[in-house]
Every structure is written in C-alpha cells, then in structure tokens.
Amino acid sequence: MLAITGTPGVGKTSVAEVLRSRGYRVLHLNEIAEHYDCLEEDGEEKLVDLEALVERFSEDDFSADFVEGHLSHHIARRCVVLRCNPVELRRRMEGKGWSEEKIAENLEAEIIDYILVEALEVCEEVHEIDTTGKTPEEVADLVEKIFRGEVSLPPGGIDWIAELGDRIDEFVRR
C-alpha cells in the first residue's frame, strides 16, 4: 500500500479520485480509522485518534493499493508527499472558503515541510511531487509510476523558503 499524503489542499483527494477511476482500490484514512473505531466527532470535524490507529492498524486487514489523507503516512511503509507552491496553495484554500486561520496554519506547514519531515521519520520509502501547475491526471501518472516501482522521486528538491524569498512574510503568522 502506498500512502498519498501532504498538507491539506495540495491535491490528494483529486489524485485519489483519478486513481480510483483507473481501477485502483483507494481508501481514505478516515475509512480505515472508522474500521478500527479510531474516528472521533468534534463538532463538524472528524478527528483521527492517531495513536490508537497506529497501534491497531494492520495492512493485512485491507486490500488497498493506496491510502489517502494528510496523516496516511503514519500507517504505510511507502508514501508520496504531494507539495504545492504556497502562492497556488493559498488560492486553492481561499477558493474552498477556508478561514484565514486555517489557511495560515496550512501554509506554514507546507512552507516548513511539516508533512515531509513526519513522513521521513515514519516511512521506509518517501517520494515527493510538486503538484503546482500539474493536473490531477499528471500527478496520478507519477504516483502510478512510483507505485509500480518505475520511478523514484526522492525528497529534498522542493524549498519553498528559498523560492518565496522576501515574500515569506506574506505566508507566515506572527
């Protein structure tokens, strides 16, 4: 099973939908958490009890090719971290009507490589794809090639801090 992870808004769900349409079995992390009774309702949000999920999870319980979600790297040995330039990511999140607080929190996470660092700590194999300017189909093509072992896209080539330069203050809270 290959995890498709990344900061909210980078394109995980869109890529997962493309892969599903191509005949792959793709689960969302919440489906797996619900199976193990590790999903808690908090108002309108569903929160995953990650500690309990990691403890209970067995890949043998599922016949999935992919698991998608921003915490999915915690239950897979292999993962692909989707990344997106913060300028584009902000546009995507604003387009979804997210609050300024949620946008700022997720932009900071993307800029400091938060999900990538976590993935490197818990996964045996980590790949990284910049989704900026790519269609979900193009990203899904790369994810498929990684899944089949045809290509390796090792992490380390994306540096939003360097790319943003003096504009970084526009994207981080003080």
Q: Is 72 annotated among the ligand-binding residues?
A: no
pLDDT, tens digit (0-9, with 9 covering 90-100), for 81-90: 999 999 999 9
Give the residue extent of every domain in the chain: 2-170
Q: Is 11 annotated among the ligand-binding residues?
A: yes
Neighbour tally for 3: CB within 10 Å: 27
Q: Is 12 annotated among the ligand-binding residues?
A: yes
**Fold of the domain built from segment(s) 2-170:** Rossmann fold (3.40.50)
pLDDT, tens digit (0-9, with 9 covering 90-100), for 77-131: 999 999 999 999 999 999 999 999 999 999 999 999 999 999 999 999 999 999 9
Q: Is 13 annotated among the ligand-binding residues?
A: yes
Q: Is 46 annotated among the ligand-binding residues?
A: no
Average pLDDT of the chain is 93
Length of the chain: 174
pLDDT category at 12 given cuts 50, 70, 90 is very high
